[in-house]
Structure 1
Amino acid sequence: MDLTTQKEKETEIIDRVFFIAGMLGVLVVALCVIWWKVTGKSPIPPVPPCMIHAVTGIYCPGCGGTRAAYALLCGKPLLSFYYHPIVLYTVVVGAAFLVTQTIGRLSRGRFRAVVHFRPAYLWIALALVVINCFVKNFILLYFHIPLL
């Protein structure tokens, strides 16, 4: 087996794992939204306050993520991006991956414009988290303006 074939096989396995995990994630979110709309009650218990923020007074790298997810579920993508850009980024990249993978699988490979998993997506996500944390803490500590 040559290196190209082995790399393609590894990519196929990784794509399959992420595809299954992504579809299960979509199913869970869909069921939670249906539950929320039918009963009027959130299927997720209240999230406790951030301990890092409570103890240190600064934002942790994940601060704002829950608010961002809630804003996105309420149809407010700009507010979601303001709270934490990683949520919107994950949804956009994940949706592109799942849609193109689904079309590629249904077309049995005739559709070639399929988004594959790339480590660069994770590096971009990490950069978003670090930049978000730095900017929000800089504004909080330097200008004394709480953003969350």
Structure 2
Amino acid sequence: MEEVIDGTKQGHYAESLLDPVQTRGFREQLVNVIRHAAMLRRTERGPEQIRAWLWVYGRNGDDQVGYLLLSEKLPGSIATDIELYKVGVRKERRKDGHGRRIVQLFVTFSSPTVNLYARCFPPSETMFKMLKEVGFSHINTMRFGTRELELCAREA
């Protein structure tokens, strides 16, 4: 959780995660993802339950280098649209290419018939560039600067 809080302080995740109640809620959300492959998120359409997965990058024990939180883009879109919801690398393991490897594994092991999505807050310039380097296209910039990216389904 420490890495998520640090990333939030740097502007990479929603600022609401700095609230202890929200931090506990996010921790519970991750537990639900691990146990039930689902999570609840709030949207302008209201609360939505979506399918989700947590990938841990590294080895068993204490050498867990990073993580990738994936979800279906919209409820019921699992067969067509997957979103890279959050990604993180332990602070002491950064600058060694692990983030790039995690993202590349996501692209490599995703079904070629599925569209891949990601969103980057303005401070996440490194992630934005990395996603473009592995094939994502910048499709939209939202009102407060969050950039949306997409990697359309590839031929199998």
TM-score normalised per structure 1: 0.29
Structure with more of its chain in strand, by fraction: 2
Quick check: which has more Rg, 1 or 2? Answer: 1
